[in-house]
Structures are given as C-alpha cells and as structure tokens.
C-alpha cells in the first residue's frame, strides 16, 4: 500500500511517532481534550479541517503534503522531533513507577509507609510534575476509563491525605480498597454522611462500585497523562 492510500488517522499516527510526542502533549499544545485525539487515532472520529490546520501551524516541521495526501517524507528536511528537543531543552525527573504487572504485589504490600523509592522509575518532564507532592506514575489496567484512559496508559498521580478524602469529587483517582487497585472517577462523595464512596467508570460497560470508608486504604489524584498507547 502506498502512503497516499493510507487514512488520515494512519498518517497522524506516523506523524506523532516521528515527532516523538504523546497524545497528552499534543492535546495540551493545541488546548484540546486528549480524548478527541484518542477517538481520531482509533478511527472513531475524523479530524476536522481546523484540527489539521492547528497541527500544521503548531508543528511547522510536519510536511503538509504528507499529512494531507501521504506524499513525500513525514517531516521537512532539517526538521526535528519534539522528543529530541525535549531531551536537550527540558529538564526531566525520575518518578516511581507502578506497572500493571506489579499491581497485585503493590496492593498486597501497601501501607502508609510503603517505600516508593524501591520501585523502578519513569522519566517525566519536570514541568508536568510541577509542585506535586510525592508523585508516582501509575499504569492503567483495563479499559473501564476509555476513551480518555486506555489499557497501558501511564498517569502522573499524587497521594491525597486521609483527612481530605471526604472532599474529593469531580476528578479521576486511583484507589486501593480491600485487595483492589482501580482508576475511577468520583462524581459523588458520601464518605462524610453515609460512609461510602462511589467510583464510576467512563466506559459505560465498566459500571460503578460503592466502597465503604473503612475498606479504603489509599487514594491518589490523577494529575496528568504522561503516555498512552495508540489504539
């Protein structure tokens, strides 16, 4: 198959790979919701004219002929990848990383004094980490939070103090309860009045779960997506 025969979604995947940037970074650069690009790259939606022009304007190293028609090289001659620039110009920090394969042992051994420094680390742009306290990278398991968070996505999260659990609402959180470790959305919080927390999936087939307060062992607020596989 010739490049000119590929779909715009396939060409966008190749462009983003050539730039070396994540969907989260693209969405942030263009002031868009990251779920929009997940839907485009998965084939559930097509990019609008304004989106394509916005990409070309923001990343002048992309060849318009390639993105629009699949003709010629992906990047302009002498062009550069954002990953290369980031390595030279941006500061990085190493953040403790909890991969899917480690979830079970993480839950089993988790306590308030858990030694995150014993984990492997994941390199993250310092600007994303900012002033987050005790940040950690968590790998998402399953697709209950798709399209925003798909299986294998890695998110930057920060622990929530126990005393602040009753105030949590309207965001995405990683929660350890009993022997489970889940990433869910909190829409209503009844910890103060009814002593339970309801955790919701963004994906309708994922459903929701109600967790008694005495079964919750730890909560982290998801702050940013740092990487995600292309579906």
CATH number of 90-227: 2.10.109.10
Positive or negative CA dihedral for 179, 183, 188, 192? positive
**3 has a pLDDT exceeding 60:** no
Map out the domains of the chain as residue ranges: 3-88, 90-227
Q: Read off the pLDDT of residues 16-68 as tens digits, 9 standing for 90 and up.
A: 888 777 787 788 888 787 888 888 888 888 888 878 888 888 888 888 888 88
Q: Read off the pLDDT of residues 111-123 as tens digits, 9 standing for 90 and up.
A: 656 676 677 888 8
Residues 6+ apart with CB under 8 A from 10: none
pLDDT band at 218 (very low <50, low <70, confident <90, very high): very high
pLDDT at 112: 56
Please give the distance of CA 73 from its chain centroid, rounded to a whole number. Answer: 29
Residues linked to residue 159 through DSSP beta bridges, in sequence order = 220
Report how far residue 223's alpha carbon sits from residue 78's, in angstroms, rounded to the nearest whole number. Answer: 35
Report how far residue 21's alpha carbon sits from residue 100's, in angstroms, rounded to the nearest whole number. Answer: 22
Asked if 3-88 and 90-227 have one fold, the answer is no
**110 has a pLDDT exceeding 80:** no
Q: Read off the pLDDT of residues 146-181 as tens digits, 9 standing for 90 and up.
A: 888 889 999 999 999 999 999 998 889 999 999 899
Q: Which two tokens stand for residue 120?
A: 């492997």
Which of residues 77 and 196 earns the better pLDDT score? 196
Q: Read off the pLDDT of residues 65-105 as tens digits, 9 standing for 90 and up.
A: 888 888 888 887 654 433 333 334 458 888 999 999 888 88
CA nearest to 147, candidates 56, 42, 60, 219: 42
- Given the candidates 3.40.190.10, 1.10.260.40, 1.20.140.10, 3.40.50.720, the CATH classification of the domain at 3-88 is 1.10.260.40
Burial class (CB in 10 A: 0-12, 13-18, 19+), 14: middle
Q: How many CA atoms lie within 13 A of 161 on its CB side?
A: 3
């Amino acid at each position: 198959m010739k490049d000119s025969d590929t779909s715009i979604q396939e060409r966008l995947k190749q462009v983003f790979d050539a730039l070396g940037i994540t969907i989260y970074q693209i969405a942030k650069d263009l002031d868009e919701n990251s779920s929009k690009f997940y839907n485009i790259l998965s084939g559930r939606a097509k990019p609008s004219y304004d989106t394509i022009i916005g990409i070309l304007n923001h990343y002048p190293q992309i060849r318009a002929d390639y993105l629009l028609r699949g003709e010629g090289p992906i990047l302009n001659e002498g062009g550069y990848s954002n990953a290369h620039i980031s390595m030279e110009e941006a500061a990085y920090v190493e953040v403790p990383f909890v991969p899917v394969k480690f979830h079970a042992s993480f839950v089993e051994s988790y306590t308030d004094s858990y030694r995150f420094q014993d984990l492997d680390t994941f390199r993250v742009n310092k600007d994303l980490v900012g002033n987050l306290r005790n940040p950690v990278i968590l790998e998402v398991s399953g697709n209950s939070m798709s399209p925003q968070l798909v299986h294998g996505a890695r998110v930057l999260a920060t622990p929530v103090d126990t005393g602040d659990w009753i105030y949590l609402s309207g965001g995405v959180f990683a929660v350890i309860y009993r022997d489970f470790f889940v990433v869910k959305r909190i829409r209503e919080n009844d910890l103060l009045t009814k002593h339970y927390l309801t955790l919701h999936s963004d994906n309708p087939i994922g459903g929701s779960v109600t967790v008694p307060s005495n079964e919750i062992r730890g909560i982290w607020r998801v702050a940013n997506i740092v990487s995600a596989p292309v579906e």
